[in-house]
């Protein structure tokens, strides 16, 4: 009976770390190979299949499997060589951490482990370990909403959230904004269709067939969208849209949430609103248009329609957007639900 190849039992933490190393494009290649040896062995591969697939000798495969079994992840590091080993003290660590928190210069906007190692005159492995120990990821960028400088932020925010949660009787809450510069792009070659193992593919070269701008209103408490295309994003077109809302939603008090675009505060808009007791405009705080729920729907529109689309003309894009809105209202329109589960402030 053939002997069943032995395997290595990996903890979840070791499996995660080895997978990162095995797929890294930044670690030195010898560490990538060592990680792949252990992962293949953990999956039950034989010594022969590992050496054939990775183009290594059998002694090399055996060496790193033996060292991993004895010392774990530390066993995959290079053993100390003859001569004085490279040592780094707390001052070297502090120097590296100070470097990674500074601007890299020379045209770069962020550090890589390879460039940090070269600049600090350390091994890339040591740089990787120091960054890991201090939970620093110079390659990663997160985005956050800065604090609004609006002195009336809290009052405006509470007013808008109050309309979302507890609107007045016989009132309709509408979130209104414009989405501009949607490009009708045609590709220089026909798109290649989706196939098993391959996504839909588009050529990187394209032809511009004009742009489309849209002004839209989201009815907060039923999720329906009312929209029209506009040639320019200005006060005239914003006022025309308000009049459209006036004709569409009769016998209702309208609370319209908008951002601080100058077109929304134009004198012609103020003059018309002064004679319309049913209209109440509510402006989001400065730099806080994220409070306007229409921004959520615009993101849905981008993913469902605009991403990866091909249009032979501007009119074709307009027709598709309006068809999508009709379909959305019939099949998907519903209020957005609050799903935040973080800390209360």
Task: Count the neighbouring beta carbons within 10 Å of the beta carbon of residue 16.
Answer: 11
Give the residue-averaged pLDDT of 223-247: 95
The domain locations on the chain are 12-76, 92-133, 153-331
pLDDT at 1: 44
Interval 153-197: pLDDT, tens = 999 999 999 999 999 998 999 999 999 999 998 887 777 777 787
Give CA–CA dist 58/49, Å, rounded: 10
When mean pLDDT is compared across 41-50, 222-231, 276-285, the lowest value belongs to: 41-50
Beta strand 206-219 with 171-187: parallel, antiparallel or unpaired?
antiparallel
Interval 113-134: pLDDT, tens = 899 999 888 889 889 999 998 8
Q: Which of 85, 236, 128, 163 is nearest to 115 (CA)?
A: 128
Beta strand 225-230 with 279-283: parallel, antiparallel or unpaired?
unpaired
Give CA–CA dist 140/147, Å, rounded: 22
Give CA–CA dist 229/260, Å, rounded: 20
pLDDT at 146: 74
Q: What is the dihedral sign for C-alpha 55, 59, 63, 66?
A: positive
Fold for the domain defined by 153-331: Nucleotidyltransferase; domain 5 (3.30.420)
Task: Count the neighbouring beta carbons within 10 Å of the beta carbon of residue 254.
Answer: 20
- pLDDT more than 70, % of the chain: 95
pLDDT at 177: 96
Mean pLDDT of the chain: 88
Strand partners, 176: 217
pLDDT at 217 over 80: yes
pLDDT at 86: 56
Q: Which of 187, 249, 186, 188 is nearest to 220 (CA)?
A: 249
Give CA–CA dist 176/172, Å, rounded: 12
pLDDT at 200 over 90: no
pLDDT at 53 over 60: yes
Give the residue-averaged pLDDT of 302-309: 91
Provide CB contacts within 8 A for 310, sequence distance 6+. 185, 186, 187, 191, 202
Give CA–CA dist 58/155, Å, rounded: 72
Task: Count the neighbouring beta carbons within 10 Å of the beta carbon of residue 277.
Answer: 8
Which 8-state DSSP code applies to residue 182? E
Give the residue-averaged pLDDT of 46-64: 89
pLDDT at 2 over 50: no
| Per-residue pLDDT band at 268 (split at 50, 70, 90) | very high
Give the residue-averaged pLDDT of 274-296: 93
Rounded to two decimals, the pTM is 0.64
pLDDT at 74: 86
Give the residue-averaged pLDDT of 269-278: 93
- pLDDT more than 90, % of the chain: 47
Q: Structure tokens of 94?
A: 């502090």
Give the residue-averaged pLDDT of 82-88: 61
Give CA–CA dist 86/277, Å, rounded: 78
Give the residue-averaged pLDDT of 305-322: 92
DSSP states along 227-292 = EEEESS-SHHHHHHHHHHHHHHSTTSEEEEEE---GGGG-HHHHHHHHT-TTEEEEEPPTT-GGGS
> Within 23-134, where are the H helices?
29-42, 47-54, 58-71, 90-100, 113-120, 124-133
Q: 3-state DSSP helix/strand/coil percent for the chain, to nearest 5?
A: 45, 15, 40
First to last CA, the chain: 67
């Amino acid at each position: 009976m053939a002997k069943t190849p032995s395997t290595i039992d990996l903890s979840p933490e070791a499996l995660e770390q080895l997978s990162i190393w095995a797929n890294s494009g930044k670690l030195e290649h010898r560490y990538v190979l060592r990680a792949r040896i252990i992962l293949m062995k953990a999956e039950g591969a034989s010594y022969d299949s590992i050496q054939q697939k990775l183009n290594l000798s059998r002694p090399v495969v055996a060496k790193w499997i033996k060292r991993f079994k004895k010392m774990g992840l530390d066993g995959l590091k290079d053993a100390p060589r003859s001569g004085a080993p490279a040592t780094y003290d707390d001052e070297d660590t502090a120097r590296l951490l100070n470097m990674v928190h500074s601007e890299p210069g020379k045209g770069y906007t962020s550090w890589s482990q390879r460039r940090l190692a070269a600049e600090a005159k350390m091994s890339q492995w040591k740089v990787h370990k120091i960054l890991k120990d201090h939970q620093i990821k110079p390659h990663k960028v997160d985005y956050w909403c800065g604090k609004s400088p609006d002195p009336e932020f809290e009052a405006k925010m509470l007013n808008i959230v109050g309309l979302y949660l507890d609107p007045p009787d016989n009132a309709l809450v509408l979130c209104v904004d414009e989405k501009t510069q949607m490009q009708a792009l045609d590709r220089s070659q026909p798109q290649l269709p989706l196939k098993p193992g391959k996504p839909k593919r588009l050529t990187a070269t394209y032809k511009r067939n004009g742009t489309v701008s849209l002004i839209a209103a989201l009815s907060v408490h039923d999720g329906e969208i009312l929209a029209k295309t506009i040639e320019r994003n200005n006060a005239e077109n914003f006022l025309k849209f308000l009049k459209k809302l006036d004709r569409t939603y009769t016998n209702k008090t309208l609370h319209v949430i908008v951002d601080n675009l100058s077109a929304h505060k134009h004198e012609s808009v103020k003059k018309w609103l002064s004679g319309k007791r049913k209209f109440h405009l509510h402006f989001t705080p400065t730099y806080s248009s994220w409070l306007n729920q229409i921004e959520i729907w615009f993101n849905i529109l981008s993913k469902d329609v605009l991403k990866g689309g091909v249009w032979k003309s501007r009119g074709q894009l307009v027709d598709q957007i309006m068809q999508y809105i009709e379909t959305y209202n019939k099949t998907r329109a519903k209020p957005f639900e609050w799903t935040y589960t973080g800390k209360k402030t």
